[in-house]
Chains A and B, each alone.
Chain A
Amino acid sequence: MPKVLIVDDEPHIRLLLEQTLEELEDEGVELLIAENGAEALDIIKKEKPEVVFLDVMMPKKNGFEVCHTVKNELGMGDVYIVLLTAKGQEFDKQKGNDVGSDVYLTKPFNPDEIVEIARKILGI
């Protein structure tokens, strides 16, 4: 079963992303949720999701660090990582590239775009 992981420390953003991606559940996609970077890494190692929507600004382990670990240390380059950054915070594109993220989106994200990306990567 294809898996999508949502990582955000803010409960309402998690809820939003979960609701946004819910339609995929009906097509057999499993939605996984993590509330922080450390939990995200655990889930990624264990469940090997195809796509991760990853918040950048999180306490403890931030999105950049998680992305770097997944792509470079765990050697899981196939995991498609979408970094989510808040509007107003200048997104460090260079850093995004350095840690190997695949794409980044600015919050407020467009829900349709989120679904579109997930569908494209999962091929459904």
Chain B
Amino acid sequence: MSEIPLKRIVRKKDVLKVITSMKAFFRTPFQILDIDGAVIFGDSAATGSTKFPIKAWDEDIGWVAGDREAEVLATVLSYMAKTEHEKKALGAETLEKYKEITLLYDIAERLASCLDVGQVSRLIIDEVIKLVKSDSISVMLLDRETGLLKIIAASGEDFSPKTEMKPGEGIAGSVLMTGKAEIVNDVHSDKRFIPGANKVSSLICAPMKIKDDFVGLINLSCQEPYTYDAEDLKLLTALASQSAVAIENARLYEDLRKTFISTVYGLARAIGQRDPFTGKHTKRVMEFSTAIGREMGLPDKEIQSIQLAAILHDIGKIAIPDEILEKKGQLTESELATFKKHPVIGEELVKDIKQLDHIIPGIRHHHECFNGSGYPDGIGGESISILARIIAVADAFDAMTSDRSYRKGLQRVLALDELKKNAGKQFDAEVVKAFLRVFRKKPELFKET
């Protein structure tokens, strides 16, 4: 236990009150000295008299100097010092617990706002490192279809992401069966242990469960022998149950997102049914747009929007008559006017789907020009959403290079020249630059289909 200097004890309000009232009561002078003999309290008149030790836990922490009355004070101060020490120990322990609670609270908050399984797993690992001593940590998830445990994220050296374990196999598999967290401080004397690439001496394995529903495991281990204790186990178990909920949430969200995306694809395929060309074209525009967005360093969220907007950008063509869409040769003025309605019709089609709100500008404005000469609104520059500016370039390139029933596709270099020529006019020059970089860096995107 860490010491509290006598000086600090004497300064405490309650203690000081006792001392001063005793001073008023005593007939003889006294002094309180700390362990080094320095005077903390009292009369210089007491110098030279007997010294009575003040003890806390059998250890001298100072003296009261004076005559026999001083001995009483020494006894009282000893008792108070002991109480102060106990209080301090209690305080230290409470603080320790409090810090844990704060940390778990903080982790729970961050986990709750995380909706990606991989991200949740990495967050778990980052937090476990701070909480419990370990050389390597892994998060394993139970694949509900195959019934196998799979490492989804890990810290430390050499982990094989392909490691899979069956329930009942190894220590992890055993924890999966029992559903109870375990400490194994000497793995080599445990028959269940299966040696892997990592050197392991001691480990803890905690299940992530929601009620009795098993989500996965958190493993942590030390290369050198280490004695994990009940406190470590308790912390890891607390963290594991928070993590289970977060992972389950992320999974559900992912499911929901997949359902949503496939619905959107379904919608886009509807145009594909009408016009097979548009079907393939949509897929390529989506790929090009995504690549441009990434090249421009846009955040993941924006990339997702770009993908959706690219898939749906031509959805309005559903309402354009076949004879216009498939016409070989020039459109008449009124046909062209009808054709030009497709971005607005597209917006009409998706505007009531709340989850597609944010991509409407990508649909409505994919035929706007950077210099303001496009349609339907004739806006320009950065008033055109970045979604639309990117889709415009991807769309134009694919339209120029594809074979149509009425003409052969342009050579790619010529199409690129065309984009360059129109950079800053029809297209956003930055987007064109990014596209040229994509063309150089990712030839596989541009293979003939």
Residues of A within 8 A of B (CB): 12, 15-16, 18-20, 22, 25, 30, 33, 108-111
Contacts and interface: CB of A to CB of B under 8 A. Distances in A.
A16 B105 contact: no
Interface string B105-127: 11000000000000000000000
Interface in B11-44: 11, 13
Interface string B71-108: 00000000000000001101110110011011001100
Given A25-B8, A33-B13, A19 B94 contact: yes
Contacts of A18: 91
Contact of A16 (B8, B11, B88, B94): B94
Contact of A19 (B13, B88, B101): B88
B13 A108 contact: no
Given A19-B91, A30-B11, A33-B13, 17 more contacts: A12-B94, A15-B91, A15-B94, A16-B95, A16-B98, A19-B88, A19-B94, A20-B95, A22-B88, A22-B91, A25-B8, A108-B101, A108-B105, A109-B102, A110-B102, A111-B98, A111-B99
A111 B91 contact: no
A108 B102 contact: yes
- Interface residue SS majority, chain A: helix
Contacts of B105: 108
A12 B94 CA distance: 8
A20 B88 CA distance: 11
Contacts of B101: 108
Interface of B: 8, 11, 13, 87-88, 90-92, 94-95, 98-99, 101-102, 105-106
Nearest to A14: B91
A16 B8 CA distance: 17
B94 A111 contact: no
A15 B90 contact: yes
Given A15-B87, A19-B88, A111 B95 contact: yes
B38 to A, nearest CB: 16
A19 B95 CA distance: 7
A111 B98 CA distance: 8
A110 B104 CA distance: 11
Which residue, B11, B98, B105, has most C-beta atoms of chain A within 10 A?
B98
B83 to A, nearest CB: 13
A16 B102 contact: no
A38 to B, nearest CB: 15
Contacts of B91: 15-16, 18-19, 22
A33 B102 CA distance: 23
7 cross-chain pairs, A with B, having the tightest CB-CB distances, nearest first: A19-B91, A19-B95, A15-B91, A108-B102, A110-B102, A16-B98, A16-B95
19 contacts: A15-B94, A16-B91, A16-B94, A16-B95, A16-B98, A19-B88, A19-B91, A19-B94, A20-B95, A22-B88, A25-B8, A33-B13, A108-B98, A108-B101, A109-B102, A110-B102, A111-B95, A111-B99, A111-B102
